[in-house]
Amino acid sequence: MIAAPDWLPPLIRLSDYEGDWRSYLDVLYKLFEEDFVNSTPEFRGRKLRLKRYPLSKGKEATFWHMISEGRDEASRQPDLNRCERLRWVKAVIENAGDPAVRVWETTRHRERRICLWLEAQEYLVVLAARKGYLLPWTAYTVTRDHRKRKLQTEYEEWQRTQERKG
């Protein structure tokens, strides 16, 4: 793996909290609040808002999407890779102009998404486009080769369409 950019925050490890999940979750949520609730980050001049509902255990849906995985909202499970990289989400968004971050738009589930792929660190942030704002939709590590190939193809196709536009 290529060295991480200087702007990328360190990992937040469960072991730093002696394996105490409740303490760890509290710290993760406080960091999430700092990055997304108590501040208004932007991506290329567009404000980011949060998908707040459904609330689960008093925490916004966006938070759970950033630290857990699963198709069904009610049965999402914590993912330590996502948890450890929670602070990376805002950092990647704010540093999207860095050549280390590949940025492109795509359509997923009939909705416009903006992908920010920190390829060398195998990390993807997905923003959902809404009228007048963006939602940080999810973020996760990309370690499977077939998924990396799919993202690479998606990025290259988007680049070609941009070149045709002019």
**Residue 156 counted as domain residue:** yes
**Residue 85 counted as domain residue:** yes
pTM recorded for the entire structure: 0.92
**Residue 7 counted as domain residue:** no
Total structural domains in the chain? Answer: 1
pLDDT in tens, 59-73: 888 999 899 998 876
Cis check for the bond before 10: say yes or no (omega within 30 of 0). no
Q: What are the pLDDT tens digits along the chain (166 aa)?
A: 578 899 999 999 999 999 999 999 999 999 999 999 999 899 999 999 998 766 678 888 899 989 999 887 677 899 999 999 999 999 999 999 999 999 999 998 889 999 999 999 999 999 999 999 999 999 999 999 999 999 999 999 999 988 888 6
Q: 110 CB contacts (<8 Å, ≥6 apart)?
A: none
**Residue 143 counted as domain residue:** yes
**Residue 2 counted as domain residue:** no
In whole angstroms, what is the distance from residue 55 CA to residue 63 CA? 10
In whole angstroms, what is the distance from residue 134 CA to residue 30 CA? 22
**Residue 76 counted as domain residue:** yes
**Residue 34 counted as domain residue:** yes
**Residue 5 counted as domain residue:** no
Domain assignment of residue 137, given as a range: 14-165
Q: Which residues pair with 125 in a beta bridge?
A: 116, 139
In whole angstroms, what is the distance from residue 1 CA to residue 77 CA? 27
In whole angstroms, what is the distance from residue 24 CA to residue 19 CA? 8
Q: 21 CB contacts (<8 Å, ≥6 apart)?
A: 14, 78
Residue whose C-alpha is closest to residue 138's, from 122, 118, 115, 111: 115
